[in-house]
Amino acid sequence: MPKITYVHPDGEMHVLEVPVGTSVMQAAIANGIDGIVAECGGSMMCATCHVYVDASQLDLLPPTSSIENDMLDATASERRANSRLSCQLVVTAELDGLVVNLPENQI
């Protein structure tokens, strides 16, 4: 199974084995990783599953949709060039080794 690494702002890391087809957000919630709130459950309504993707891996990801782009403007922690909503990052074999950094705040 692809491994996804979640890095907290204090540097603490969690590595999860995530089934293909599961989103980075869903895996975090299902494994009780703090730092991803996902208030709307993955509907791109709340922008509380914000992550910073390792810059070298951005090209592996599906493009940002216009809805996600709009929602990213409203994240609680600052938006950066590598900001994504983790509910939109569905894990594939190619994403094995993905590293996502969790922001200071989600709400």
Partner 1 sequence: MAGAPVVILGTGQGGFQAAASLREEGFAGRIVLVGEEPDLPYQRPPLSKAYLAGALDEAMVRLRPKSFYAEHAIGFLPGERANGIDRAGRRLRLASGGTLEYDHLVLALGARPRRLPIPGVELDGVMYLRTLADATALRHRLPLAREVVLVGAGFIGLEFAAVAAKLGAAVRIVEATGCVMGRVVSPPVSRCFAETHARWGNRLLFDTGIVRVLGADGRATGVETVHGEVLPADLVVICIGVVPNVELAAAAGLATDDGIVVDDHLLTADPAISAIGDCARYPSRFADGTTRLESVQNAVDQARCVAARLAGRPVPYAAVPWFWSDQGELRLQIAGLTAGHDRAVLRGDPGEGRFSVFCFRAGRLIGVESVNRPADHMAGRRILAEASELTPEQAADPGYDLKAHAAVLKGGRPGKAHSRPQTLS
The 3-state secondary structure of 31-71 reads CCCCCCCCCCCCCCCCCCCEEEECHHHHHHCCCCCHHHHHH
Q: Are strands 50-53 and 13-17 parallel, antiparallel or unpaired?
A: unpaired
Among residues 51 and 72, whose Cβ is nearest to partner 1? 72
**Residue 74 in the binding site for partner 1 (CB under 8 A):** yes
Among residues 15 and 31, whose Cβ is nearest to partner 1? 31
* C-beta separation of 87 from 62 below 8 A: no
Return the residues of window 51-70 that contact partner 1 according to CB under 8 A.
67, 70
Site string for partner 1, 7-46 (x = CB under 8 A): ---------------x---x--xxxx-x----xxx-xxx-
In a 3-state reduction of DSSP, which class is residue 82?
coil
Rounded-to-integer distance, Cα 32 and Cα 66, Å: 29
4, 7, 18, 47: which one binds partner 1 (CB under 8 A): 47
User: For binding to partner 1 (CB under 8 A), which residues are involved?
Assistant: 22, 26, 29-32, 34, 39-41, 43-45, 47, 67, 70-71, 73-74, 107
